[in-house]
Amino acid sequence: MRASQIIGFWLFLLPILLHAAPLTLEPSTSKYSALEHAVYLEDPAGKLTIEEVMGMPADRFRQVSAEQFSGGYSESAFWLKLTLFYRLPETERERSHDWVLEIAYAALDYVDLYYQAYDSLSHLQSGDRRPQSARNTPTLNHTFYLRFPPNQTQEVFIRVKTDSSLQLPITIWSPATIFSESNLAQLGFGIYIGVLMIMAAYNLMLFFSLLERSYLYYVLYISSFAFLQLSIAGLGSLYLWPAATAWTNISIPFFMGASSLFAIFFTRHFLETHTHSARTDDVLKIVAGLCALLMLLSFISPYQVSLGFGNILTFVLSIALIWTGALATFKRYPGAQYFLLGWTCLLLGSTVFMLVSTGVLPPNAFTENAAKYGSALEALLLALALGEKIKAVREEKSRIAERAREDLHAGNRELSIGLAQLERSDALKDEFLAKVSHELRTPLNGILGSLELLQLEDISPDIEEYAQSANTSAEHMLELVNTLLGFTEAQSQVAEEPSDLIRLRDICTQLHDNYLSQLREKGLRLNFELHKDLPSLLLGDESKLCLILKQVLDNAIKFSNDGQIQCEVLPEKLSIDTSIIRFVIQDCGKGIEDQYLHSVFDPFAQTASDLDAGLGMGLAICRQLVTRMRGDIHATPCTSGARLEILLPFKLPKDSARLL
């Protein structure tokens, strides 16, 4: 036989062999890898029907190669034909005739399965672009229940049309085995997502506690990455948005862009790239803009375009972040070594996953889950990096606080020395003023005595007028010296606990009697009005109270010409053991103008015109004494005369009567 005849014979026989080589299923085996037993037909237009495909001759189908459906992208629809033979001995005819065909890649858009179930053609549907209600079974991957009679050849046709990576890991399982394997796989994936969510929740609480934005960006990154993994695995379309079929494909590139964007935010804030590497920071800003563009493209561009752009961007981002981490590690930035190691793990895992998606690497248990392993390690390492940085920040704050405490102690020591010197100077000043005042009183009293004796002599009217003028000036100077002495005594006194028994009626009567001669000379009346609810006895400093009232009355009499000076005493607030007494003194002078009210108690803020208006040292002494007694004194506007109000707190003796 010639060579051409031999080749022609085998070419004629090959389709028959392909068509006649079924995958034999036996009860003793619970799992079969079926893709290598399939033949396929490409439908570029995607318009072939099942009837047309079933009527195709065997030579239209081609054998599936090892790399044919393990990655890559195509706009064609693909028909796969799988011939099955369920071998079952006659002694086991009662055994279940059910098998489960699984395509373990959740991101396929449309999957249709056809097979002759006894006397009818069964059509089963799946695919993430279909709502869950239209799918054959609500499972993570694309699963189809098959029931056909034993010891007969059965043809199964599978139509696949997808914009995602074309991966068709077809496995045939016994029902019991696939459920146990599926539960184990979902448990592992649940643990993986749980780890990410726990890390996100824990760091979210840390963010609310510390208000450190790095934790917030970490939470957003981990959450976005977890949603990305849920979308890739098909759990998003299964549980989160079962009816939102359009969002199923959009979600993958969208969450790729979102997780990348928040990763850049986290990196820039965590490593503070703007402080130590401006160029790297600018590169990260550019990549962040591309990530935002990817999120937009996921809504407006074809899935293949946005997904391809996302894969490239993810690789570029990983390289940029690893470079940033290496640079920060070289500069000994706290936490940078964990950051670098974490992104290296994610880069390796993502690279392996992308190589699987594009068909460069074969899919298996490790390569398909490499991104999950890398991301889980990365999440843990980034959390360690955050902890390392916070630890370093706290140590730095502790060092700063320690230096601040040392500086504060040194400053307090210097301040204490300065205050001691100031107190000594103030004490020396008060002592000097007191001694000068005492020394001045003696010669002034001598001058006054001499002037009074001179007036008793027989002198000329001119000399008598001069003597009278000198006597008035000397009396005014003596009054000024007494006021200055009272001011220094008020400055030097220390507030003490009240101990004197005070009878307000007796004090008011005594003050009235003391001023009686001065009142008659000026034609004035002094009226004390005591409220009926005043306590009969008070505990306090009687000398200070008398000095306060004396200074106020001196000021009132001095600047009143005729009329009545009113002094009202009434209880402001009463309790079981405390009483606040209000003293209201109003003279009949020309009053205090509004512009002087703020400086009436400050002798050093007054001018000569102020003193003429009725402001002097007496009120400054009053304020000092009132303050030391923990009270309050203020001047209030009045239509005529000057009105002063004094509030002073007093203790009440336990055995005293409450009313006058």
Residue 12 has pLDDT above 70, yes or no: no
d(CA 10, CA 544): 130
Overall average pLDDT of the 19-27 stretch: 74
Overall average pLDDT of the 60-79 stretch: 80
Q: Are strands 578-586 and 563-574 parallel, antiparallel or unpaired?
A: antiparallel
Instruction: Give the pLDDT confidence score for residue 157 in this predicted structure.
Output: 94
- In the block, residue with structure tokens 């790399």: 67
CA 637 to chain centre: 51
Instruction: Give the pLDDT confidence score for residue 604 in this predicted structure.
Output: 54
Say if residues 467 and 459 touch (Cβ distance below 8 Å).
yes
Residue 604 tokens read as 């050093």
Overall average pLDDT of the 2-10 stretch: 44
pLDDT digits (tens, 9 = 90+) for 140-181: 788 888 887 888 888 899 999 988 778 888 888 888 888 777
Spell out the domain ranges in the chain: 17-173, 185-402, 496-651
CATH fold, domain 185-402, is Rhopdopsin 7-helix transmembrane proteins (1.20.1070)
**Average pLDDT score over the chain:** 78
d(CA 21, CA 4): 25
Nearest to 558 by CA among 513, 613, 509, 507: 613
d(CA 387, CA 342): 14
Nearest to 258 by CA among 310, 205, 203: 310
pLDDT digits (tens, 9 = 90+) for 103-125: 888 888 899 999 887 778 888 88
> Which of 483-492, 503-512, 587-596 has the lowest average pLDDT?
483-492
pLDDT digits (tens, 9 = 90+) for 534-565: 888 888 888 788 888 888 888 888 878 778 88
Number of neighbours of residue 404 by Cβ within 10 angstroms: 12
Say if residues 613 and 465 touch (Cβ distance below 8 Å).
no
Residue 245 tokens read as 């079929």
d(CA 347, CA 305): 22
- Work out the pLDDT band at 504, boundaries 50, 70, 90: confident
Instruction: Give the pLDDT confidence score for residue 40 in this predicted structure.
Output: 92
Residue 154 tokens read as 């059965």
Nearest to 86 by CA among 146, 140, 12: 146
Instruction: Give the pLDDT confidence score for residue 6 in this predicted structure.
Output: 44
CATH fold, domain 496-651, is Heat Shock Protein 90 (3.30.565)
d(CA 413, CA 571): 46
Span 17-173: which CATH code?
Answer: 2.60.40.2380
Say if residues 155 and 83 touch (Cβ distance below 8 Å).
yes
Overall average pLDDT of the 28-34 stretch: 85
| Residue 220: strand, helix, or coil | helix
- Work out the pLDDT band at 609, boundaries 50, 70, 90: very low
Helix (H) or strand (E) holding 84: strand 77-86
d(CA 363, CA 83): 24
- Work out the pLDDT band at 261, boundaries 50, 70, 90: very high
d(CA 506, CA 513): 11
pLDDT digits (tens, 9 = 90+) for 563-576: 888 898 888 877 77
Residue 227 has pLDDT above 80, yes or no: yes
Cβ burial, residue 91 (10 Å; 0-12/13-18/19+): exposed
pLDDT digits (tens, 9 = 90+) for 404-453: 888 888 888 888 887 877 777 766 666 666 666 666 666 766 676 776 76
Instruction: Give the pLDDT confidence score for residue 202 in this predicted structure.
Output: 82
Contacts of 359 (CB under 8 A, 6+ apart): 67, 70, 71, 72, 165
